[in-house]
Amino acid sequence: MALTLAESAKLSTESLQRGIVETFVEESPILDRLPLIGFEGTSYHYNEESALPGVSFRAVNEAYPESVGAVSPRIESLAILGGDSDVDKFIVQTRGNVNDQRAIQETLKVKAASVHFSDQFFNGDTAVNPLGFDGLRKRLIGRQVVDAKGVGPVANGYDFFDALDALTAQVRGLTGQNGALYMNAAIIAKIRSGFRRLGGAELLTAEILGKETTMWNGIPMLDPGQKLDGTDVLPLTTGTGGKESGDIYAVRFGTSEADAGVTGLTNGGIQVTDLGEAHDKPVYRTRIEFYMRDRVVRRQGCGAPDERPCQLNYRA
């Protein structure tokens, strides 16, 4: 079974590693809840259902027609994300009485890795960077992508909320305990104001994993934040007439292959190594690495009604 980073941090007996893992959880609205399946080796092999076998009623003494289901073998290879955090010995010696200089730089390194992972989780493309992994934008196809072009604006119409309900219904079994709705923060704000204008009660807010979160039908609505260059992970684009468009991802997480959801893959989780003083220059070095990637399982092939993640292309 898969464990989230929050759960794995509780099991860590090494204080440096536990602190790094907890920082990942604090910084990422994805890694704080994404289940990670651990395995040995560099690649994860599994079978994905592509067609179910036939069944039928039969008469007495009559044989069943023979049929078998079909599965498609899949392979996911790990990507290596991380970096070295170097702090000059002089800084540690002269300024260490005010702050733990190494801890500050390690925290910044984790924040950068968390931001980069969030970007890749949605926008990753191995055709652009073969060392990374494919994100949801590239993986979701067929009926997993719902085109909401023509849906009325959030602020003063029911159409958008109907489309949002249709999106969550498309991802069967999606609840606040096993998934989330990811979108730009501006869309979340428009949903809150639009729902209020239509005479609805305030959307429920709750504290989840120590963070105040707005809910839609009990499902948290989360903004994955900004990339390292300061642009949004899930941006809004302005089209004809100044109308903005953006994507909303409904994601159901899975803890095993049987769940047919979105899981992470890892070998060893987050690796944190205090390398001490480097040999090539007078710095103390900490290496942080994460051997991982995401995995999306589709049952019965593309277009089946029980596909767990789904994307709504909204045109406001």
Q: Does 79 map to a domain?
A: yes
Residue 37 pLDDT: 85
**Residue 237 is part of which domain span?**
145-256+302-315
Percent of the residues in the chain that have a pLDDT greater than 90, as a whole number: 25
DSSP assignment of 120-164 equals HHHH--TTT-TTS---HHHH--GGGEEEETTPPPTTT-SHHHHHH
3-class state of residue 26 by DSSP: helix
Tell me the pLDDT of the chain averaged across its residues: 81
Instruction: Reply yes or no on whether the pLDDT at 111 is more than 90.
Output: no
Rounded Cα distance between 144 and 82, Å, is: 31
The total number of structural domains in the chain stands at: 2
Instruction: Reply yes or no on whether the pLDDT at 60 is more than 90.
Output: yes
130 and 271 share one domain: yes
Q: Write down the residue that tokens 């733990």 correspond to.
A: 100
Q: Does 17 map to a domain?
A: yes
Q: Looking at the whole model, is its pTM more than 0.85?
A: no
Residue 305 pLDDT: 38
Contact 53, 68 (CB under 8 A): yes
* The two three-digit tokens of residue 223, written as one number: 């903004």
Contact 106, 85 (CB under 8 A): yes
Q: Does 177 map to a domain?
A: yes
Confidence of residue 50 (pLDDT cuts 50, 70, 90): confident
Instruction: Reply yes or no on whether the pLDDT at 4 is more than 70.
Output: no
Better-scored residue on pLDDT, 55 or 143: 55
Instruction: Reply yes or no on whether the pLDDT at 128 is more than 90.
Output: yes
Contact 124, 139 (CB under 8 A): no
* The two three-digit tokens of residue 1, written as one number: 């079974």
Instruction: Tell me the CATH number at 15.
Output: 3.30.2400.10
Q: Does 267 map to a domain?
A: yes
pLDDT per residue over 230-284, tens digit each? 999 999 887 666 777 888 999 999 887 667 788 888 888 888 889 999 999 999 9
The residue-averaged pLDDT of 129-149 equals 84
Q: Does 78 map to a domain?
A: yes
Residue 234 pLDDT: 94
Continuous segment of H or E residues that includes residue 8: helix 5-11
Q: Does 60 map to a domain?
A: no
Continuous segment of H or E residues that includes residue 122: helix 101-123
Q: Does 216 map to a domain?
A: yes
Contact 315, 245 (CB under 8 A): yes
Better-scored residue on pLDDT, 168 or 295: 168
156 and 207 share one domain: yes
* The two three-digit tokens of residue 4, written as one number: 């989230």
244 and 268 share one domain: no
290 and 309 share one domain: no
pLDDT per residue over 293-315, tens digit each? 777 655 433 333 344 466 665 44
Confidence of residue 20 (pLDDT cuts 50, 70, 90): low
* The two three-digit tokens of residue 99, written as one number: 């702050």
